[in-house]
Amino acid sequence: MALTGWVEPDQVVWRGIRWARRGNLLVKYGEATDRSTLIYTVPAGRTFYLVGAVATPLTFGAGDGYAYIRDSADAMWFRLGVFIHVAEASFAPAIFQPASPLEVPEGCDFVASSNRAEQTMTLSFCGWEE
């Protein structure tokens, strides 16, 4: 990601660290109950820069829930969250917020997956693509 020559339009207003982007901002959400749901695929010739994700179960039961990124060969590329036999007392969302954006190459899919009808898994994430 080349940021040479790019300047924040109003640098006086900003305090602290803020990620800079040049592409299309994306915010996505999806859920799965007793199946895998494809939420988003990075288009050919593009790179997605993931800046944050939250994976959480909406329901509690004997099922397992997963949120992950798979590559173009359908192999797991990066795991965002795993919930095995979630009990209500042990509920906690999986929050992924990297120190710098994670580069996700073209052809990768963002997936939410659940293996039981009693388990609904959600995934929401944001970033940009260029």
> For residue 28, what is the domain's CATH number?
2.60.120.340
- Beta-bridged to residue 113, according to DSSP, are 36, 66
Using the predicted structure, report yes or no on whether residue 42 has a pLDDT greater than 90: yes
Residue 48: per-residue pLDDT: 94
Report the mean per-residue pLDDT for the chain: 81
Q: Compare 41 and 65 and report the one with higher pLDDT.
A: 41
Q: Which residues contact 98 (CB under 8 A, 6 or more apart)?
A: 50, 51, 52
Q: Compare 87 and 77 and report the one with higher pLDDT.
A: 77
Residue 38 lies in a domain: yes
Residue 40 lies in a domain: yes
Residue 101 lies in a domain: yes
Residue 114 lies in a domain: yes
Q: Domain span at residue 101?
A: 24-129
Residue 113 lies in a domain: yes
Residue 8 lies in a domain: no
Using the predicted structure, report yes or no on whether residue 110 has a pLDDT greater than 50: yes
Provide the pairing of β-strand 48-57 with 36-41.
unpaired
Tell whether pTM > 0.85: no
Q: Which residues contact 65 (CB under 8 A, 6 or more apart)?
A: 32, 55, 57, 81, 82, 83, 86, 112, 113, 114, 115, 119, 120, 121
Rg from Cα positions in the chain = 17
Using the predicted structure, report yes or no on whether residue 6 has a pLDDT greater than 60: no
Q: Which of 128, 56, 47 is nearest to 96 (CA)?
A: 56
Using the predicted structure, report yes or no on whether residue 62 has a pLDDT greater than 80: no
Residue 1: per-residue pLDDT: 46
For the ranges 66-70, 77-81, 116-120, the lowest mean pLDDT is seen at: 116-120
**How many domains in the chain?**
1
Using the predicted structure, report yes or no on whether residue 54 has a pLDDT greater than 80: yes
Residue 53 lies in a domain: yes
Residue 13: per-residue pLDDT: 53
